[in-house]
Structure 1
C-alpha cells in the first residue's frame, strides 16, 4: 500500500521509515520475530511520524517510550479512543463499547461490565478452564508425537473457554475463529465481509435473548440498565461485537507465542517443568516479551508532546510490543528472563481502558502452560516446519507444529 503524504505540520526530520505492517520482520515470515523487529525503534527518537502505521493506511505518531505511552493512554482529555474502527468498515457510525467511549460515558459502561470479568468470577470459571485444557492435551498426547499447537490446542482452548463464558455454542468454534481471522488479518474484501457477518450474528443473538433470555452474557446485556434506562440496540451491538472479537484471538495468540518460545529454549522449558510454581511469574515475562495489541488514540486538540507538534485529529500509535521492549523500563529488554522480577508490562494497556478481560486472560494462559508442561514430554519445533509470524494491528502466529518423543 502506498504511503500517505506527510501532513504539513509534521517536520521532515520527524518522519520515520517504519510501520507495524510492512517493515522488515512484520510481513508473514517463516521463523520471523516481529517483536524483536519493533525493538529497532528504541535506537531512534522517542516519538516520530510514520506515514502509514494503521490498518486503514493512515499515518500516525509513533510513541516509542513506555512512560510516554502511559501518559497518552491516561490523558483522555487530550487523546480520544473513539476511532469507530469496526463500524467504519461497514460505512456506519457506532462505537464498540466501552473501548471507543471516552470518560465520563466510558465509566458508566465499564462499571456495568466489571463484575462479569472480576477476579471472583474468573476463580469460579477456573475448574472449567482446567478441565478444558486437560481434555485437549490428553487428546493430543494420545494421538501421536506431534500436533499443530494453534489448531489443536491454542484456539480450541482459548476460544472454547470464551465461548462458554459468553454462552455461545462450542460446535461453531471453527466458524467463529475463521470470522476473527478474516476480520483481524484479512484483506480489504474479507475484512468488511467478516465485519458484516459478525454484526448480523450479534444482532440476531441479541434479538433471541430479548425474546427468551438464558443465563449467559448476551442475556445480561439486553436486560442491563445504565443510568436508569435499558441499552439501545446500537449499544448492545457495540458491547457484543467488542467482547466477541476480543476473545477470539488474543489468548490463543499469547499461548502460541509462549509455546513457540519454550519449544526453542529447552532450558527454560525444563526450568518450568522442574519448578511449576514459577509459571505464574514466567507467564508475565512472556506477556511482556510477546504482546499482540496495537492501540491507537486520536488527538482531541492541538498539543505539543515531547517536541512533536501533534494536531487535532492526528492518530497516535501506542504499540504494546514497542513499550514492552523499552530499555528505560526493562534491563536487557530483548532477552526473555523467566526469573525477572517486578514486571510492569503494557500488554493489557494502561489507564481507564485497561483490558477488561485481563484477569481471565491471565488465568487461561497460566493454566494452559501448567497443563501442557505437566502432560506432555519436552517438545520442540518439528524438523522441516517453521511457524509463520506476522505483525500488524494484532501480531499473530500460525503453523506452529510441535513434536516430542
Structure 2
C-alpha cells in the first residue's frame, strides 16, 4: 500500500485485500504527460481483480469501487434502483446538491425529462443540422490550410468546430467561444479555486439566458426550455438551471477531446490514415473503434442500499465507478482489446454510457466526429505530429488532450 493510499480514508467495511493502488487522477499515465496514453494506462487494471476499491478515484479525492468488466458495468448502469446517478457533480463545486437534468435524476423522474428532451437531439433533428455541421468543418479547415502547413488542432479546429455546433444548437453565437471553453476547462480540469469560480460563472450565464428568453423568446433551446412543461406544469427555475447547465457543459469538451484523440491516432498511424483517405466509406466504422479505444468519461453511481456485488461488500452511500476507458478495453468483451482495428465490427463500446442514462447527445456527437474526420482527411494532406512537439494527454473525470501540433509540410 502506498503512502497516498494509507493516508486516504478507507471505509471499515472494505477488506484490505480488495484495496487497489489505482486512480484515474493520480496513477502513472494519468497526469498530463507528453505523448501519454491515459486510456491504455487505465486498461492495465484488467490484469487484476474484476472489482476493487480505489481510495482516491474522484476529483475531490474520494474512494470508489472500480468495476473493470464491461458486463458488470452494464449491470450497474442498468440498475438505477440500486445504483443512483444523483451525485450533484456540478453543484458540489459550490457545496450544493441540485441535480443536472436528466443526467442526475433517477427513474421515474428521469423518464419524464428524457421524453421532453429526446426530440431535440433525435436522429431526425441531427440530420437537419448536418449541412451546417459540414459547412462549419469545411470553413475552419480551409482557413487552417490557407494559413500554412501546421496547426494546433485543438485550438484551431477541434474546439472551434465542436463548440460552435453546440452553441448554434443552443441558439448562441460563437463570439464568446474562447470564453466558454475556458469556463469548461476550469470546471472539468481546474483546481479547487478555478472549479467553483467557473461553476458560479456558468450558473450566472444560464440563469441570465433563461431570464432573457422568458422576456424575448426565439427559436432556440433555452426558449424551448423556459416554455416547456413536464407533468403538465412549467419547469421550475431550478429545473431550467439543471437542464441548461448539463447541456451547456456537455457540449464544450467531450466531442472536441474525441476529435483530438482521433487525429492524434491517425497522425501516429499513417497506414490507417491512408486507408481512410483511400476508402472514406470506412470512416463511420473507424469512428466507432476510435470511440471504443479513446473514450473520455468516467461514470460514477452511488449505492442506494447494501449489496454484495461480485464478492465486493458495497454499502449504502459507496461510490461505484464505471469508467468507459476500462470497459472498452475489456479483453472478455473485445478480442485483442488493446489493438485498434478500424474495421472492428459488432462494437459494443460504452463511450456514450449504457442503460437509461445513455448520452442524450450521442447522435449529434457521432455525426460531428465523423464529419470532422471526413472533412479533415479531404482537405488536409498526409499529416503527422510536428517534429519537436508532443501532445499532452491526461486522465481525470474527463480525459483530454492538448498541444496537439499537426504538420503536413
Q: How high is the TM-score relative to the length of structure 2?
A: 0.98
Determine the structure 2 residue equivalent to 1:61: 65
Distance in 1, Cα, partners of 2:82 & 2:395: 28
The structural deviation recorded for 1:74 is 0.3
Match of 2:391 in 1: 387
Asked if 1:180 is matched to 2:184, the reply is yes
Distance 2:171 2:154 in 1: 23
Aligned-pair CA distance for 1:5:
1.6
- Which of 148, 151, 154 is residue 144 of structure 1 equivalent to? 148
Q: Which residue of 2 aligns with 1:258?
A: 262
- Residue 4 of structure 1, CA deviation: 2.1
Q: What does residue 211 of structure 1 align with?
A: 215
Partner of 1:4: 8
1:301, 1:12 → 2: CA distance? 22
Corresponding residue to 2:285 among 268, 281, 287: 281
1:302 to 298, 303, 306: 306
Q: Which secondary structure does the structure 1 equivalent of 2:90 belong to?
A: helix
Aligned equivalent of 2:84: 80
User: Cα distance, 1:262 vs. partner?
Assistant: 0.2
CA distance in 2, matches of 1:228, 1:268: 52
Kindly provide the CA deviation profile for residues 186-238 of structure 1, in whole angstroms up to 9, marking residues without a partner as x.
00000110000000000000000001100000000000000110000000000
Structure 2 residue aligned with 1:134: 138
Which structure 1 residue ranges, 5 or more long, are not aligned? Answer: none
User: Is 1:239–2:243 an aligned residue pair?
Assistant: yes
> Which whole-Å CA distance do the structure 2 matches of 1:124 and 1:322 have between them?
34
1:134-157 CA distance string (max 9 Å, x none):
000000110000000000000000
Secondary structure of the structure 1 residue equivalent to 2:94:
coil
Provide the secondary structure at the position in 2 that maps to 1:236.
helix
Q: Give the CA deviation at 1:375.
A: 0.6
The residue number in structure 2 matching 1:360 is: 364
CA distance in 1, matches of 2:59, 2:202: 19
1:156 to 154, 157, 160: 160
Select between 120-129 and 167-176 the one with higher mean Cα deviation: 167-176
Provide the aligned length of Structure 1 versus Structure 2: 405
RMSD over equivalenced CA pairs, Å: 0.7
Q: CA deviation at 1:369?
A: 0.2
Q: Distance in 2 between matches of 1:237 and 1:32?
A: 36
1:142-197 alpha-carbon deviations (Å, 9 max, x no partner) = 00000000000000000010000110121100000000000000000001100000
Tell me, in whole angstroms, the C-alpha distance in 2 between the residues paired with 1:378 and 1:105: 50
Cα offset for 1:93? Answer: 2.4
- 2:83 and 2:46 mapped to 1: Cα distance? 23
2:125 pairs with one of 106, 121, 128: 121
Q: Choose the corresponding residue for 2:45, options 31, 41, 49.
A: 41
The whole-number CA distance in structure 1 between the counterparts of 2:197 and 2:294 is: 29
Distance 1:21 1:64 in 2: 16
Alignment-derived partner of residue 330 in structure 2: 326
Structure 1 residue 91, shift from structure 2 partner: 2.0
1:196 maps to what in 2? 200
In the TM superposition, residue 89 of structure 1 has moved relative to its aligned partner by: 1.3
Q: Supply the distance in 2 between the matched residues of 1:92 and 1:10 (Cα, whole angstroms).
A: 28
SS state of the match for residue 296, structure 1?
Answer: strand
Are residues 1:224 and 2:228 paired? yes
Among 78, 91, 95, the alignment partner of 1:91 is: 95
3-state SS of 2:398 partner: coil
Describe how 1:90-109 pairs up with structure 2 within 5 A. 90-109=94-113
Separation in structure 2 between the aligned mates of residue 289 and residue 280 of structure 1, nearest angstrom? 15
TM-superposed CA distance for 1:56, in Å, is: 1.5
Structure 2: tracts of 5 or more residues without a match: none
Shift of 1:88: 1.8
Match for residue 16 of structure 1?
A: 20
For each residue in 1:297-329, what CA deviation from the matched residue of structure 2 results, as whole angstroms up to 9, or x when unmatched? 000000000000000000000000000000000
Q: CA–CA distance in 2 between the matches of 1:64 and 1:56? A: 22
Is 2:315 aligned against 1:311? Answer: yes
**Partner Cα distance (1:256, 1:85) in 2:** 25
1:32-85 Cα shifts (integer Å, max 9, x gaps): 010110111000000000001011211000000000000000011100000011
Residue 349 of structure 2 corresponds to residue 345 of structure 1: yes
